[in-house]
Each structure stands twice: as C-alpha cells, then as structure tokens.
Amino acid sequence: MSRKLASMEAALEAVRDGMSITAGGFAHSHQPMALVRALVKRGVRHLTLMGVAECWVAEFLAAANALDRAYFSNFMFEGFGRCRRFSEGVESGAIEVEDHSHFGMANRLGAAAMGLPFMPMRSMSGTDILAKPGFEAPQAKSRLIASPFDARDKVLAVSPLKPDVAIIHAARADEEGNVQLYGPTSVIVEQARAASHVIVSVEEIVETRAIRRHPEFTVLPGLLVDVVVHAPFGAQPLGNFGYYQHDQAHLIGYYEASRTPQTTQAYLDEWAHGPADHWAYLDKTGIARLMRLRVDPSLGYIPAEAARA
C-alpha cells in the first residue's frame, strides 16, 4: 500500500522554475489557494499556466511575477471584474497568452488526459480566438480537418496540452491518494489526468473504508495522484462545497488592494509572505471568522437565518 501524505513544503518541491502547471477550481470555489500562497512564498518563477477558469490562481501568480505564459479561457473575478494584475501583465507584454473558449481548453487537456494526438470540436472555429494567434504557432494549436466519415464535414482538431504539474484542492483523501470532491468538479479530472505530476491538498484525511462507502464522490483514484497534503481551509479565501463559503470580505479586500502594484505587494507581504505556513495563515485569519464561513453540511451552504445571526 502506497502512502502519499506529505507536508506542503515537501509536496511543492516538485514545482520548479520554468515548469507548466494547471490548477483546479472555478470562480470562487475549489481553487488550491494554500498551495498557491506557498508557491508565491517560495519565489517560484517563469511558470506557464494551463488554466480554464482559475482566476485567483492566475492573479496571485501574476502579482508575484511568477507567470510568463498562460493558455487560458477567460480569467475574471465573478461579481468583481477583471483580474487586474494578470490583465495588466498581459497588456504590458510581461505575460504571453494563448486564448481559448472554456470548451477549447477542456478539450486540449482532455486530449492529453486520454493520450490522444488531438480532440475534435466545433466551437472556436471561425472566431478571433483562432484569427488572432498568441505565442503558439497556429498550426500547433489547432487545424481544420475533414471528417473521416464524410469529407464535406469539417471539424476543428485541437492539440493536447500536458502540464508538468497539476495542483488541486479537494474535499478529502485517504493515505493512498484516493481523492473525493463534492459539488461541481469543473475539469479537475482532465487536468489531473493530463499532468505528469499531481499534487492534491484536502480538507480531511480519512480511512480508505470511508472513501469506499461513497465511491460516487471519488474524482481521482490513488493511481493518478502523486502526493496528498492535509490543508483544512485550503481554498480560503475561496469556498469549498460542503465545508465553507468564500470569504467575501477578504475577496473585497484583495480586489481593492489590486488597484496598484504597490498595494498588491503589500497584500502579498501580509497574506502570502508574512505567515510562516498555512497554519499561521489560518491563525491570522482567525478561528471565529473561519467558523462563521462553515456551511451546514447537510445543505452545502449557510442558511439565510444563520447568516443573519
């Protein structure tokens, strides 16, 4: 039996300068923020992000000058606006980008996940996503091909994307690396299967028999996972379905701080570089605040009457 538990510091030794990474999650949920803060603290540089909607991951890496390139499909803060540090990095030329639809990125990762040389699709065809190329040679990204069953029918074939490392936050795992997640899973399965190395942080470490009682929640079997990190509130200040909601006040605080490079750096100094580790970050946030974000486990959210209490 393989035991895959490791400290966050040991797990992230696999992420080195110049690598390509992908990170799970969508909008204000399930993004691996504890792992990202640890990467920022380590000072990793020259990363390429292969992302679908990991807006907060992209923003933090851009703010820390860790990001050189991004294959992506719309990074924006739901309910707030654009990712300022990422957007300004793109506008200044500091970050090169290759644009896609959500489905386009999912298919490129999906092709790698299944070991296929390409994935056929229809969306993106005839759009500026293809007409305005980024850093990738257009023919390396996609090609219009004829169906082998009807040459009159043309489809867009997109090439596979294989990240060096996937960093993912989920609900729980056992010591063998079997990972479960509740609620929307986005494209976490494709991201993990596409990557050469998979790091997963989780809210809980449970026994294998607990995993086996509910196999319907197992998104990643242990054979796909290289290392597991125990990180309660590992998505904070974002949410994790079944555990806690996103910290709206903290998100507002960051969004205000992101208005200038100087105030963004002050935020990173306080929340990423300042705390010694993830546990120190949780201490700084405060147990009372964290507990107020906890959801009713049977509902998956905080009932209105409880939120007003």
Taking only the tens place, the pLDDT of each residue in 165-201 is 999 999 999 999 999 999 888 899 999 999 999 999 9
With bands split at pLDDT 50, 70 and 90, how would you rate the model's confidence at 302? confident
- The amino acid occupying position 249 is A
CA distance to 30, 278, 294, per residue, from 50 (Å): 16, 25, 31
The DSSP output letter for 271 is I
Which of 43, 41, 42, 40 has its CA nearest to residue 58?
40
C-alpha to C-alpha distance for 25 and 39, rounded to whole angstroms: 17
Q: Can you tell me which residue has the tokens 């007003």?
A: 308
Region 205-234: what's the mean pLDDT? 97
Helix (H, G, I), strand (E, B), or coil: what is residue 270?
helix
Determine whether domain 8-101+162-292 maps to CATH 3.90.870.30. Answer: no
The share of the chain scoring above pLDDT 70, in percent, equals 97
The beta-strand segments (E) located in 83-196 are 96-99, 119-121, 142-146, 154-158, 165-173, 179-180
The DSSP output letter for 222 is G
Cα 94 to its chain centre, rounded Å, is 21
C-alpha to C-alpha distance for 51 and 70, rounded to whole angstroms: 7
Whether pTM > 0.85 for this model: the answer is yes
Beta-bridge mates of residue 82: 76
**Helix, strand, coil distribution of the chain in percent, nearest 5:** 40, 25, 40
C-alpha to C-alpha distance for 167 and 24, rounded to whole angstroms: 7
Which of 27, 21, 7 has its CA nearest to residue 49?
21
Phi-psi region of 91 (alpha: psi -120 to 50; beta: other; left: phi over 0): alpha
Beta-bridge mates of residue 301: 296
Residue 187 phi, psi (nearest 5): -115, 30
Cα 17 to its chain centre, rounded Å, is 18
Residues 157 and 108: beta-carbon distance below 8 Å:
no
The kind and range of the H/E element at 82 are strand 81-82
Residues 101 and 65: beta-carbon distance below 8 Å:
no
Q: In this predicted model, what pLDDT tens digit does every residue of 26-61 receive, in sequence order?
A: 888 899 999 999 999 999 999 999 999 899 999 999
pLDDT for 1 equals: 53
Q: Name the H helices within 201-286.
A: 208-213, 248-257, 261-268, 278-285
- Predicted confidence (pLDDT) at residue 138 exceeds the cutoff of 60: yes
